[in-house]
Structure 1
Amino acid sequence: MAEKAPDTPIKATCHCGDISITAPRRPACVNECQCTLCRRYAVAWAYYDPAEVKVEIKEGAATIKYIWGDRDHSFDFCTKCGCMCYWWPIKEQSTPKMGLNTRLVDPDEMRYVTRNIDYDQLYVPIGEGTPHPEDKAKY
């Protein structure tokens, strides 16, 4: 498959197809965050301004949210197939950002995108929230 232009929109769908997310462009890189939560989800995040992303949920379908720690983000899963779809900011941010799980995107669309494994989050305190027992941050 030939490489597509970087500004070509990408579409992510959960396994059953009830949840679809469209981002305006392919990301420059994908982050495989190693925090206590993301490494368990085995996600590969692309980050966007939430205003740029369109989330579509089929009639009768739903997401379930997991909110933990500093309560800054909602991690949203499809209730039917269980796929981790995205994280969404709950609290207002100075630089709005949400994460799209690129593992839900056709692999050919992501073939030429650089992958980073980010270990920095291992040592970042979770605000005022309750730390995970495996959290390596100093509080």
Structure 2
Amino acid sequence: MVEGSCHCGAVRWRFDGEPDGATACNCTVCRRYGVLWAYDYEDEAIHVSGPTRAYVRGKALAFRFCPHCDCVAYWLARRVQDDGRRRIAVNLRLAEPDAVAHIPIDHFDGLDTFDDLPRDGRCVVDYWF
């Protein structure tokens, strides 16, 4: 299990199990936020709590922030899938460094191609230190 919280502690998330990767996306939003995402489904592996405010980007995503300290905590898909599940991704930068340091980085080209790029051997620790 991995846990994270915003700076003031008002917003929290829990990832049951361990993410198989931390996604660094270069889209116009994610590159500005500097986030590293871990994905699953709402109330399955990922559980969130606390008050948030949203920045809604188009029809697909709502980025959720702490209304007090403004940390980007997670994004939530705006639509439920046909199977009734909703995609969610938490910001691994809100976890304690030792808990996520070894997780490999996945690169996603959200700016141009929307392709997953090959892993280059770097882990979260390589992005932080």
TM bucket, shorter chain: 0.7 to 0.9
Work out the CA distance in 1 between the residues paired with 2:18 and 2:6. Answer: 18
More strand by share: 2
Partner residue of 1:100? 90
Secondary structure of the residue that 1:123 maps to in structure 2?
Answer: coil
Question: Does 40-49 or 89-98 show the bigger shift?
Answer: 89-98
Question: Which runs of 4 or more aligned residues in structure 1 lie more than 4 Å from their structure 2 counterparts after TM superposition?
Answer: none
Secondary structure of the residue that 1:98 maps to in structure 2?
Answer: strand
The letter of the residue matching 1:68 is R
Partner residue of 2:41? 49
Query: Gaps (5+ residues) in structure 1?
Result: 1-8, 126-139
How far off its partner does 1:23 sit?
1.1
Partner residue of 1:77? 65
Work out the CA distance in 2 between the residues paired with 1:68 and 1:112. Answer: 31
Query: Gaps (5+ residues) in structure 2?
Result: 115-129
The letter of the residue matching 1:103 is R
Secondary structure of the residue that 1:51 maps to in structure 2?
Answer: coil
How far off its partner does 1:117 sit?
2.5
Residue-by-residue CA offset, 1:34-89 (whole Å, 9 max, x unaligned):
111111110000001112222121xxxx21100022x2211000010000000001
Secondary structure of the residue that 2:57 maps to in structure 1?
Answer: coil
TM-score, with normalisation over the residues of structure 2?
0.79
Aligned-residue sequence identity (percent) comes to: 32
Contact 2:79 2:86 in 1 (8 A): no
Partner residue of 2:112? 123
The reply to whether residue 34 of structure 1 matches residue 49 of structure 2 is no
Partner residue of 1:87? 75
How far off its partner does 1:113 sit?
0.6
Secondary structure of the residue that 2:43 maps to in structure 1?
Answer: helix
Aligned-residue CA RMSD (Å): 1.6
Work out the CA distance in 1 between the residues paired with 2:102 and 2:48. Answer: 24
How far off its partner does 1:124 sit?
5.0
Residue-by-residue CA offset, 1:94-120 (whole Å, 9 max, x unaligned):
46421110000111001111012322x
